[in-house]
A and B are shown apart, each in its own frame.
Chain A
Amino acid sequence: MSSLVPPPTDEDNPQARTGTAALSIRGLAKRFGEKIAVDGVSLEVPPGSFYGLVGPNGAGKTTTLSMATGLLRPDFGQALVHGVDVWVQPLQAKKLMGILPDGVRLFDRLTGEQLVTYAGLLRGMDRETVVQRTGDLLRALDLTNDAGTLVVDYSAGMTKKIALASALIHAPKLLVLDEPFESVDPVSAANIRDILTGYVQSGGSVIVSSHVMDLVQRMCDHVAVIAAGTVLAAGTVDEVRGDATLEDRFVELVGGRNTSEGLTWLRTS
């Protein structure tokens, strides 16, 4: 096979890796009024990886993931899921993705069971598969006893779990989870971790955002540190953290630790 144009190299053109990356984010940027929320973020999530996205509050994690999943139109940049451009072929790209957005409402006047069923049917799945998988998911997430309760009456952790179930129902190739462990109890969190680990082992890819460093260090094989809308470091967890713990490395990268005495009056003795 010959071509007039010389083949692109990996360094100056990430296109060469398109076929392999589960999620490829290229130069995504978004401005809200005066504030630049995301300022040219590029990430490569290899297939079969468990990718952590960490950053302080307001770093642009949610904005980046929203743009990568087709929920928020970027001002610049591209996002490709297994080579499918999210903003050029949105319907095809969304078939490959399971999305757990953060900070959005659910159709909470449905029962938990109805909500997961709804997500499945919206994806065009047939009724038998939806019913069977809904049952499995509710069992796995320990929600069977509340399946008929309205989601509006769920606790915060249960709401998170039912939203996760809605993201898993169509067995996507890539999972994009924004803060999946927030307000989830430790037992459920361990169950979710097992589900996700099994999913990755079977060839799926996961990208999670979190600000629990410890969790990311234990769970993920790749990590990106993002602050003020830009990527500060990205790579395998071991590459990024070096000799230190991820938390120390994170603080070192992001800065902002107060080392002075501070709040002396708060000490009781």
Chain B
Amino acid sequence: MVAHLLRLKILLLRNSLGRSTGQLIGVILGGLYGLGVLGLIVVGLVLLGSQDPELIRTVLVIGGSATVLGWIVIPIAAAGIDMTLDPARFVTFAIPRHELLAGLVLGGLVGIPGIVTLIAALTQVLTWMRYPAAALAALVCALVAVLLCVVASRLVTTAVSSLTGSRRFKDINGIVAFIPLIFLGPIIGGVTAGFQGSPGFARSLADVLAWTPLGALWAVPADVAMGDPGAALLRFLIGAATLVLFLVLWSRTLAHALVTPPYNAVAKRAGGNLGWFGRFPATPAGAVAARALTYWLRDPRYSASLVVIPFVAVLLYFSGGASGTAFAFLGPLTAFLLAWSISADISYDNTAFSLHLSTGVRGLDDRLGRAAALLVFSLPITLVFTVVPLLITGRPEDLPVMLGLALGLLLTGAGLSSLVSARYTYNVPLPGESAFKTPPGTNFTMFTVQFIGWIVMVLLALPELVLTIVYFVTGDALFGWLTLLVGLVLGAVLLVAGIRVGGRWYDSRAPELLLAVSANR
């Protein structure tokens, strides 16, 4: 039975490769990336072996703890990142529970993250080659630690899977999970600063982690090498006990989950509230705008990017300091990000787009509505984000140039996005999925479209950009006002052009767009 489950996982992995060439390229690229990272880790670990045991210990404990933490946290953030062996799918097969557990653990190792973790953990043995006893301990501990990773990750997935059945939880989780990721940069920055600030910081961090379930197993070989068998035994017991505890807990939650299908409690609600549909003009374009704006607030895939925006402000404020130039460019940066965010609008609609097709919406109305919904909230955000930082940093004289640049980018970008989304589609998270979940193998097309799109955007906004540079070089206020003028006029012209040409493309290619998005399911 265990072998069956393992074979199933391998088969699923293999079949998913065969679905399309694009996907295959993506998986190969992902595999090469994983291989590269793995190679670096292996070489690093082998080289680390020549250092003194204290340093080896610090590196291994911190790195190992981070790995275990990653296995626990990532599945929550990604809301079911790899549910190919979802226990719920085995409910009807009456598989004995311990066999199901074993199969799921081994299945969890099949796949790029599992293999990379396993090989990296086993490379520890090479690191400790100079201390045979420690190397032996490293072998045992590496296997237990990898098991701990998989079991912890499975426990978390099973525990939240009863929650993730409810749509509301999924929606909120999809947004909230973004927040730690945004702060990942500053956190890593802070930890790095800690390392640089005091050499003892890393060692004390490792000392603490070594007594937690996260790091205990990774510290055992060092204890053996440094001749402290008591500590080694104790730490190994901590690690092993955690593994057993997690296994028991997982077995319990699995048993519970298998007989408790997820239930989505929904309160019935009578109508009467048309929301944005009551506030926008009753025209096709107005309806598209109302729908798009409703989605910006209600669909986590869209609202996640809205939630991010205040954090961009906070990040820029702290990274550049209160007087920093980075903060002053908050407006243009936000405008750029927001404007580009509708460039995959039809991909996000997925096959729901067929309603636009079957009701015979003109391309112009479709483009206009989507751009209008974007501008309704991006225009005020851009204005506030441009004006407020300049006032805070005490540079009100830069207002014209910054407004010109920000508005120019916003309008130009909205125009370009209207064009791009009428022509190019790529696989994005499906409606209802986490905003994180990018279908594998689509990254190639996505990056091509995005990369070229950004270059075109810079080219289109070149007049504003050049004028901004000239303004800062010469300090002549005239160029500031010129930037504002060019930004508004050129931006408006490009917006209209983008909507018109995009509308024409849409009219001639709408059925092909529907066919393209329906490939992503």
| CB–CB A104/B274 < 8 A | no
Point out the residue from B286, B287, B358 that lies within 8 Å of A101, measured CB to CB: B358
Given the known interface contacts A70-B357, A101-B354, A106-B355, the answer about A111 and B269 at a Cβ–Cβ threshold of 8 Å is yes
CA distance A148 to B358 in the complex (A): 24
| CB–CB A153/B514 < 8 A | no
A126 CB-CB contact with B under 8 Å: yes
Residues from chain B with a CB closer than 8 A to the CB of A124 are 283-284
Report how many A-B pairs have Cβ atoms within 8 Å: 132
Given the known interface contacts A71-B354, A106-B352, A107-B352, the answer about A121 and B270 at a Cβ–Cβ threshold of 8 Å is no
Given the known interface contacts A94-B359, A153-B266, the answer about A72 and B511 at a Cβ–Cβ threshold of 8 Å is yes
| CB–CB B511/A122 < 8 A | no
| CB–CB B269/A146 < 8 A | yes
| CB–CB B269/A90 < 8 A | no
CA distance A51 to B117 in the complex (A): 60
| CB–CB B272/A148 < 8 A | yes
CA distance A149 to B273 in the complex (A): 11
Given the known interface contacts A107-B352, A110-B291, the answer about A91 and B362 at a Cβ–Cβ threshold of 8 Å is yes
| CB–CB B284/A122 < 8 A | yes
Residues from chain B with a CB closer than 8 A to the CB of A113 are 271-274
State the Cβ distance, A139 to closest chain B Cβ, in Å. Answer: 11
Residue-wise, chain B 341-384 has the 8 Å CB interface mask toward A (1 for contact) of 00000000111101111111110000000000000000000000
A109 CB-CB contact with B under 8 Å: yes
Chain B contact residues, majority secondary structure: helix
A144 CB-CB contact with B under 8 Å: yes
| CB–CB A138/B298 < 8 A | no
Output the nearest chain A residue to B361 by Cβ-Cβ distance: A122
CA distance A101 to B288 in the complex (A): 20
Given the known interface contacts A109-B295, A113-B271, the answer about A70 and B358 at a Cβ–Cβ threshold of 8 Å is yes
Point out the residue from B291, B358, B512 that lies within 8 Å of A107, measured CB to CB: B291
A55 CB-CB contact with B under 8 Å: no
Point out the residue from B272, B291, B354 that lies within 8 Å of A147, measured CB to CB: B272
Output the nearest chain A residue to B431 by Cβ-Cβ distance: A105
- A window 111-145: CB within 8 A of B: 111-114, 117-119, 121-124, 126-127, 130-131, 135, 138, 144-145
CA distance A93 to B282 in the complex (A): 22
B203 CB-CB contact with A under 8 Å: no
Point out the residue from B352, B432, B511 that lies within 8 Å of A70, measured CB to CB: B511
| CB–CB B359/A148 < 8 A | no
B173 CB-CB contact with A under 8 Å: no
Q: Beyond the given A109-B299, A122-B355, A144-B270, please list 4 additional residue pairs across the A-B interface where CB-CB is below 8 A.
A: A110-B294, A121-B284, A146-B269, A149-B267
Binding site for A on B (CB under 8 A): 167, 264, 266-275, 277, 282-284, 286-288, 290-291, 294-295, 298-299, 349-352, 354-362, 431-432, 511-512, 514-515, 518
Binding site for B on A (CB under 8 A): 69-73, 90-91, 93-95, 97, 99, 101, 103-114, 117-119, 121-124, 126-127, 130-131, 135, 138, 144-150, 152-153, 166-167
Q: Can you spell out 21 A-B residue pairs with CB atoms less than 8 angstroms apart?
A: A73-B511, A90-B360, A104-B351, A105-B431, A106-B355, A107-B355, A108-B432, A109-B294, A109-B295, A111-B269, A111-B273, A112-B271, A114-B291, A119-B355, A121-B284, A122-B361, A123-B359, A124-B283, A138-B271, A148-B272, A152-B432
Ranked 7 nearest A-B pairs via Cβ:
A147-B271, A94-B360, A148-B269, A121-B287, A113-B271, A127-B282, A104-B351
